[in-house]
Structure 1
Amino acid sequence: MTPAQRQYAELKNQYKDCILLFRMGDFYETFFEDAKILSSILDIVLTYKDKNSKTPTPMAGVPHHSVDKYLSKIIQIGYKVAIAEQVGQVVPGQLVKREVVNVLTPGTFLDGNEKNYNFIAGIVQNNSQEGNFHIAYGDFSLGEYFTKSFDSIDDVISFFIKINPSEIIIDIDLLEKQTLEEQINIYLDSLINISDVPYDQEGYLKTNLDIQTLGSYGKALQGGREKSFALLLSYLLDTQKQSIKNISKISHINDDNKVSLDENTIRNLEIFKSSYEGEKKYSLFSVINNTNTGMGNRKLNDIISNPTNDVKLLKKRLDQIEYFIQNPEIAQDIISKLKNLHDIPKLLSILLYKKNSPIIWEKLKNSFEVIFEGGENNILTQHILSIKNQDLSQIYKFSQELSSAIKEQPTENEYIKDGYDQQIDELRQIAYNSSKLILEYQQQIVQKTGIQGVKIKYISNQGYFIETTKKDSTKLEEYANPENQNFDFVRVQTLKSQERYTTTYLQQIQQKILTAKEKLTKLEKQIIDNLQNQLENLSKQINQFSDSIGFLDVFSSFGEFARVNNWIRPNIGTKGEMFIQQGRHPVIEKFLPTNENFVPNDLGMDDQSSIHIITGPNMGGKSTFLRQNAIIVLLAHCGIFVPAGKANIPTVDGIYARVGSGDIIAKNQSTFLTEMIEVANILNNATSKSFIILDELGRGTSTYDGVALAKSILQFLAENINSKTLFATHYHELINLENDYSNIKNFSVAVYETEKQVVFLKKISEGGANKSYGIDVAKIAGLPSWILKKAEENLHKLEKKQTQHKQAGLFELPSQKYDPNFEKIKQTLNQTNINETTPMQALKILDDLKNQLKD
């Protein structure tokens, strides 16, 4: 290997889990196996050093000036990248020193264009009163971190599925490490790292967070959670190779006032992604998201993901939205301003960690100019402060500094505004206007000597010189004055037809020009470094300010959305019946053809009518009705207006949804098993204060099993939980349960039926359906008429058989009522020891049992 290749191999040995990008001049090079990987990922040419030797060395590289676009692709695939820069003086013929200055990972890569959260998480095991497992997680680019504790590894996995971190750091001592890794690989695309927790967690955190006591962050760094954050922080420090400067908050996440919303419900309600080809376009979030900034986009995501039953907080959010509905001109004015903002927390992180780029500084400057247009106290800042009051004076002062310092459309070589610094102006005049200085000096010589043909030229290996003809050289020398540095001509070179001269003044100009650019670069960097230090000191305030901007974006944009789409303010409280009048499904309504109107429906529930069995045809709108009401309940618990004519929503402690179907091949789970697991989760966690929707349970098994399970689940809900439940089923036989339970009521999809056709009205009305209309749905789907005719014949035979065997009860289920004879027989059998019973005794017992049945 060459010395450079040996250096590469030594660094690669320290970063075995990374692709090592090795700075060589204007390129980042890779060698050996890394080169093959890079070539494959980026579809770039794989070359070889010593190609004709027995052991050629694979090579692949990318230009350093465009490396960001390549890094993004590498990171998205799930690789870590170590950046090795030249840190020593470049001396010809000597190997320059190189060091890894940064490690880029999926959880720490700073992408200024990404609007969504990019979480990185750390997990440790530490049995305590507050849980057995503790995680710390956050978005590195935003500086927001959270800690949470769990009792079981299953709860941890469920939470990871919900927040979907791009990277997870697992404590090397975690006992459940293998189980956790297996589950992550099944459900997530997260990059897994195994790492050590710092020995003295308390001291480590105090030092790196610059605090006197962990109490500064309250419960966030107590009860074992300090260990998880120490693990995460140590990983961030190891990858960034510098202090973590933008930590704006570390919060403890508890379940107080939280409405349970697990990953199954999020998926089944299609909140962030539609089941239709995984399209985000057809999700609830996509339909209601009209935010105009990355800050607002993330804030709406956070609000929807974390519903609350804190009535005071919900009413405060609803008040904000209602204000913008009532003041559309103000809403539109604020929206127009927010559209011109860049993602401030992302810009801050890039400037602190990635690169001190003038282009990024300009974006930050422009954003502050929009916010503080007209001064510190304007319509935008007033509304931002109405969400969370804080002192903006330092941020305003910094924004003015940026406006004064950063020029419009800066370049990498020139970014400080003219007039900001006198020395920079002088150096810039010399560095970039040298031709003007030379021309002015040439005119001085012409005026002094009268020689029109005198020229000042530049050659790289000679520098600047004055050139004249042989004829004019004598005249030039007549004006030579050793006392005047502008005209102390000294001959430096004689050519065939020209003479070349220099002067003290020309040498000074040359020295100024050659050093001006270097001085200018240093001076501009000093100013930018000073701005960076100010930014670091203000990072916490700026992030908190940006958080309020995110809320304002949500409230103003949603106010405009609700006004245009006729959404209303829900009345939410801790008591009372649930009543939704003219409720609509927001996603279906959005994508209906222009010639169709959505059919709204009402819902009324109370303690005497807490469980609704909804029967009717599959095409009738049962699933839509279930989902739209769950979505309305969810939106109300986010403090957001809802698609309805009127809505009275009592607070709930959880929203649970089981709809649709799907297997999990990786876990060898069939559709039916997956369905039962999700139902079990609901029944084990729901309370009387929960809201549940269950759609078509029992389809994945036989008719008898399906009906039996559906019936028993309804009975369990009615007898043991009594939560507000919408239960849609094609088993119309279940409507008999209304006779047995006072809290169960029957509803069905209205159908208009004639001899020639069946029309599904998509209207929910009281009473149960007496048939399933499956063949009519098949007709709508376009099945061949031969199949439809045969189906009619088969149905007629089954119905006839059901009549003939009515006593057997083709669809009827055994009674669950108490039978005293059965209990006596059961007791007798339980008391009988078969091994000690003679054949005669057995016959006697059997005869007694027969007699008991006769009684």
Structure 2
Amino acid sequence: MTPAQKQYMELKSQNKDCLLLFRMGDFYEAFFQDAKTLSKELDIVLTYKDKNCNNPTPMAGVPFHSIDKYLPKLIQKGYKIAIAEQIGTVIPGQLVKREVVNILTPGTFLDQENKDYNYICAITSFESNEGNYHIAYGDFSIGEYFTKSFIDFEKFLNYIIKLNANEIILDIDFLQKQELKEQIKMYLSSLINIYDIPYDSESFLKNNLNVESLDGFGKSLSNPRDKSFAMLLNYLLNTQKQSLKNINKISYISEDEQVNLDQNTIRNLEIFKSSYEGDKKHTLFSVINNTKSGMGNRKMIDIISNPIKNIIKLNKRLEHIDFLKNNEELCQNLIQEIQKLNDIPKIISSIIYKRNSPVLRAKLKNSLSTIFNKEKSKILEYIQNNNFENININQEKINKILNFFNKIDIAISEQANENEYIKEGYSEIIDNARNLANNSSELILKYQQEIVNHTKVNAIKIKYIKNQGYFIETSKKDCKDLEKTSNVNIDKFDFVRVQTLKNQERYISTYLQNIQEEIFKSKEKLVQEQKKILENLLSDITILNQDLNELSEGIGFIDIFTNIADLSNKNGWCKPTITDIDQKKIDIKQGRHPVIEKYLPINENFVANDLFIDEKSTIQIITGPNMGGKSTYLRQNAIIVLLAHCGFFVPAKTAKISIVDGIYARVGSGDIIAKNQSTFLTEMIELANIINNSSEKSFIILDELGRGTSTYDGVAIAKSIVQFIAEKTKAKTMFATHYHELIDLEKKYKNVKNYSVAVYENQKEVVFLKKIVKGGANKSYGIDVAKIAGLPNEILNNAKKHLKDFENNKINITATPLFEFEDKSKQDNEELKKIKNELNNIDINNITPIQAMQILSKLKNI
């Protein structure tokens, strides 16, 4: 191997789990297996060094100036990438020193285009009063972090899946790490790392957070959550190869304030993905989210994923939206201003960690210019006149940011590029250097004309080649005329031949060399002086980082409030009344499903429906035909309850909603092939989760339970569930079903009420009115739905005959078991006792594999 390849292998051995990109001049190169991976994933040419030898070295590379085009592709495919840069001065003929200066991972990649959260999550397990499972997670690109503890493993796993983190770090001593890895891989495509917790987590955190005590962080960094965050912080330090300068927030997620909204409910309500091929267009999020900034987009994801039951916060959000809804001109002005803003927290992180880019500085300046525009800015005025959750943007902070803006406004040009970015007039040294560097071509052309006039040779040209510099070029036939006029006493015309080509001769002069030196010096000075100013401004950004982030969070809230206010004005949404006095009551008038309503054909109106739940009707059994609108009715009410607990307006004429502690939805069907779960088993697992975690304060929707098994089993399970909820849980429940046997439960339980979907029927046709009315249905109209679907008339007519036979008891339907077992328990009793005694006497922690085989053989003989 060459010295450079040996250097590559040494760095690779220190970063075995990474693709290593090795800076060599104008390229980032990869060798050996990494080169093959790079070639395959980026579809670039794979070359070989020493092609003719027995074992040529695979090579692949990308230009350094276009590396940002390739990195996102590798990150999206789940790779970690170590960037090895050249350190120090490059001396020809000597091996330049190289170091890994940064490790890019799916959880730490700074992507300006991504408006969503990019979570990285650290997981540990320690016994404590608050639970045995602990997580620390956050978005490195904006510097926001959170911690949380769990008692129950299932809740803990569900929360991780709900986070949808791009990268997960598991404590090497986590006892269930293999099980957890397998579970995560079934649902997520996250990169999973195994890592160590730093020794003495408390001291480690104090040193790296620059604090004397962790008490100021409250429960977020109390034991044992401090260990989770310490592991996360250590991993980030290792990948960034520098201290973290943008830790803006570390918050503890409390169960007391949050409404339980698990991943199954998020999926079943189609909040972020529709059930049709994972489509993101026909979802609740796509319909309600028209935010204009990354700051608003992320805040919207956070709010809708984590509804709350804090009435004070909810009402405050509703007041903001109501005010903006009633002040439409202000609302539209704010929307237009926010649309001009860049993603401030991501820009700051990119400046701090990625590169101190002047283009990013110009973007930051232009955003602050919109905010601090004295004549037009409504954003700053709104922030100064209003309070936001957990945000304290006081006048002192605004003045600091304004002073910083004035600094960069004076220094940074609005049309900044990577080469020129300091405003003219800011620095005399830079202006002079720029003048010479930028006007060098005029200087050269002027000198070229002087040579033409002096030599009388018109074909003379002055050219520039990167590795040779400037030179005078003439043809073979004109070179003698040029040499005749050479004068060693005049530096402009003391021509010296430096290179002979086939058809041309090349010369230099003392004057040309002096010009070249001045041009090179001016260009170098321009780079150095501009960079010096940029570096001075970097420390200001680091100091102001937290204040800028707080300002951005306030803008995120304004973005959401204006978005919902505008949506409500256009679509006739109402401000819900939220109460914790009457905990049984939900009263929704003319509620609609926002997604279905948006995508209805132009000539079709959505049929609105009411919902009224109180202590006399906590369980509503809804029967009626397929295609009648039962599922839509269930989902729309769950969505309205969810939106109210986000502090948003809702798609209804009026809505009075009592605070709930959880929203649970079990609708639709589907296998989970990867987990070897049938539709019915999946349904029962989700149902068990709802029954085990819901309470009297919960809101539940259940659609068509028990349809994946035999009719008798299905009816029995469905009936038992309604009885259990009616007697024990007493949660606010909407239960849609085709099992008409369930409508008899209204007679038995005071809190069960029957509703059905209205149908207009005569001898010629059946029309599904999609209106919910009191009372149970006595027909399912399945054949009519089959007709709508387009089944042939022959099948439909036969089905009608069969249905009449069943209804007239001409054909008996009996349930025949697939398997029958003979009860031999009595006669096998003695053998069972022997086996039981054997099993009870086995100490499985203290037997060898051979002994285990012997025991198994003995049990088999019995």
Contact 2:487 2:494 in 1 (8 A): no
The match for 1:820 is none
| Distance (Å, rounded) in 1 between the aligned partners of 2:118 and 2:106 | 8
| Distance (Å, rounded) in 1 between the aligned partners of 2:508 and 2:185 | 76
| Distance (Å, rounded) in 2 between the aligned partners of 1:664 and 1:502 | 79
**1:780 maps to which of 773, 785, 788:** 788
| Distance (Å, rounded) in 1 between the aligned partners of 2:622 and 2:497 | 106
Offset at residue 797 of structure 1 (A): 1.7
Farther-moved stretch of structure 1 (660-669 vs 267-276): 660-669
Which residues in structure 2 correspond to 1:688-837 (within 5 Å)? 688-801=696-809
Q: 3-state SS of the aligned residue for 2:809?
A: helix
Offset at residue 105 of structure 1 (A): 0.4
> Which of the pair has more CA radius of gyration?
1
Offset at residue 358 of structure 1 (A): 2.1
Offset at residue 718 of structure 1 (A): 0.5
1:515 is the counterpart of 2:521: yes
Q: 3-state SS of the aligned residue for 1:711?
A: helix
Counterpart residue identity of residue 61, structure 1: G
Contact 1:473 1:499 in 2 (8 A): no
1:530 is the counterpart of 2:529: no
Q: 3-state SS of the aligned residue for 1:103?
A: strand
Counterpart residue identity of residue 419, structure 2: N
Contact 2:8 2:22 in 1 (8 A): yes
Contact 1:257 1:308 in 2 (8 A): yes
Q: CA RMSD in A?
A: 3.1
Contact 2:471 2:507 in 1 (8 A): no
Offset at residue 774 of structure 1 (A): 1.1
Gap regions ≥5 residues in structure 1 = 481-486, 811-833, 836-855
Which residues in structure 2 correspond to 1:1-400 (within 5 Å)? 1-374=1-374, 378-385=377-384, 386-388=386-388, 389-390=393-394, 391-400=397-406
| Distance (Å, rounded) in 2 between the aligned partners of 1:588 and 1:764 | 17
Cα deviation per residue 1:433-483 (whole Å; 9 max; x = unaligned)?
A: 234456788999999x999999996777686899999999999989x8xxx
The match for 1:829 is none
Cα deviation per residue 1:570-617 (whole Å; 9 max; x = unaligned)?
A: 011112321100000000000000010000001111001111000000
| Distance (Å, rounded) in 1 between the aligned partners of 2:458 and 2:37 | 62
Contact 2:12 2:20 in 1 (8 A): yes
The match for 2:685 is 677
Contact 2:805 2:811 in 1 (8 A): no
Q: 3-state SS of the aligned residue for 1:259?
A: coil
Offset at residue 115 of structure 1 (A): 0.5
Alignment length, in residue pairs? 799
Contact 2:196 2:231 in 1 (8 A): yes
Q: 3-state SS of the aligned residue for 1:643?
A: coil
Offset at residue 387 of structure 1 (A): 3.5
1:629 is the counterpart of 2:637: yes
Offset at residue 514 of structure 1 (A): 2.4
Offset at residue 223 of structure 1 (A): 2.5
Contact 2:592 2:607 in 1 (8 A): yes
| Distance (Å, rounded) in 1 between the aligned partners of 2:125 and 2:210 | 26
Offset at residue 130 of structure 1 (A): 1.6
Offset at residue 159 of structure 1 (A): 0.6
Offset at residue 728 of structure 1 (A): 0.4
The match for 1:838 is none
| Distance (Å, rounded) in 1 between the aligned partners of 2:469 and 2:72 | 45
| Distance (Å, rounded) in 1 between the aligned partners of 2:445 and 2:766 | 93
The match for 2:822 is none
Distance 1:462-1:195 versus aligned 2 partners, 3 A rule: closer
Counterpart residue identity of residue 4, structure 2: A
The match for 2:431 is 425
Q: 3-state SS of the aligned residue for 1:608?
A: coil
Offset at residue 800 of structure 1 (A): 1.9
| Distance (Å, rounded) in 1 between the aligned partners of 2:282 and 2:492 | 80
Contact 1:655 1:692 in 2 (8 A): yes
The match for 1:606 is 614
Farther-moved stretch of structure 1 (510-519 vs 165-174): 510-519
Q: 3-state SS of the aligned residue for 1:131?
A: coil
| Distance (Å, rounded) in 2 between the aligned partners of 1:666 and 1:456 | 72
Counterpart residue identity of residue 108, structure 2: T
Farther-moved stretch of structure 1 (94-103 vs 51-60): 51-60
Offset at residue 289 of structure 1 (A): 0.4
Offset at residue 526 of structure 1 (A): 1.0
Counterpart residue identity of residue 526, structure 2: L
1:565 is the counterpart of 2:571: yes
| Distance (Å, rounded) in 1 between the aligned partners of 2:788 and 2:452 | 97
| Distance (Å, rounded) in 2 between the aligned partners of 1:66 and 1:475 | 48
Contact 2:485 2:493 in 1 (8 A): no
Which residues in structure 2 correspond to 1:833-848 (within 5 Å)? none
| Distance (Å, rounded) in 1 between the aligned partners of 2:515 and 2:73 | 48
**1:663 maps to which of 658, 666, 671:** 671
Q: 3-state SS of the aligned residue for 1:619?
A: coil
1:640 is the counterpart of 2:648: yes
Distance 1:673-1:453 versus aligned 2 partners, 3 A rule: closer
Cα deviation per residue 1:510-566 (whole Å; 9 max; x = unaligned)?
A: 432221111221111111111111111111111111000000000012111110111
Farther-moved stretch of structure 1 (326-335 vs 53-62): 53-62
Contact 1:318 1:569 in 2 (8 A): yes
Q: 3-state SS of the aligned residue for 2:278?
A: coil
Contact 1:489 1:501 in 2 (8 A): no
Offset at residue 67 of structure 1 (A): 1.0
Farther-moved stretch of structure 1 (772-781 vs 698-707): 772-781
Cα deviation per residue 1:360-419 (whole Å; 9 max; x = unaligned)?
A: 2221111111111127x9422011232443221111111122222222322222111111
| Distance (Å, rounded) in 2 between the aligned partners of 1:575 and 1:741 | 24
Contact 1:656 1:692 in 2 (8 A): yes
| Distance (Å, rounded) in 2 between the aligned partners of 1:242 and 1:616 | 64
The match for 2:819 is none
Cα deviation per residue 1:743-770 (whole Å; 9 max; x = unaligned)?
A: 0000000011111211110000000001
| Distance (Å, rounded) in 2 between the aligned partners of 1:583 and 1:39 | 55
| Length-normalised TM-score, structure 1 | 0.88
| Distance (Å, rounded) in 2 between the aligned partners of 1:787 and 1:455 | 93
Distance 1:57-1:560 versus aligned 2 partners, 3 A rule: same
Distance 1:801-1:347 versus aligned 2 partners, 3 A rule: same
Q: 3-state SS of the aligned residue for 1:599?
A: coil
The match for 1:823 is none
The match for 1:830 is none
| Distance (Å, rounded) in 1 between the aligned partners of 2:109 and 2:669 | 36
Contact 2:457 2:482 in 1 (8 A): no
| Distance (Å, rounded) in 1 between the aligned partners of 2:738 and 2:117 | 40
Offset at residue 802 of structure 1 (A): 8.2
Contact 1:259 1:654 in 2 (8 A): yes
Cα deviation per residue 1:208-243 (whole Å; 9 max; x = unaligned)?
A: 111111112111110201000000000001001111
Offset at residue 42 of structure 1 (A): 1.1
Distance 1:253-1:451 versus aligned 2 partners, 3 A rule: same
Contact 1:272 1:286 in 2 (8 A): yes
| Length-normalised TM-score, structure 2 | 0.88
| Distance (Å, rounded) in 2 between the aligned partners of 1:791 and 1:492 | 104
| Distance (Å, rounded) in 1 between the aligned partners of 2:451 and 2:545 | 56
Distance 1:586-1:471 versus aligned 2 partners, 3 A rule: closer
Q: 3-state SS of the aligned residue for 2:627?
A: helix
Q: 3-state SS of the aligned residue for 1:581?
A: strand
Counterpart residue identity of residue 290, structure 1: N
> Taking every aligned residue pair, what percent have the same amino acid on both sides?
58
| Distance (Å, rounded) in 1 between the aligned partners of 2:149 and 2:435 | 61
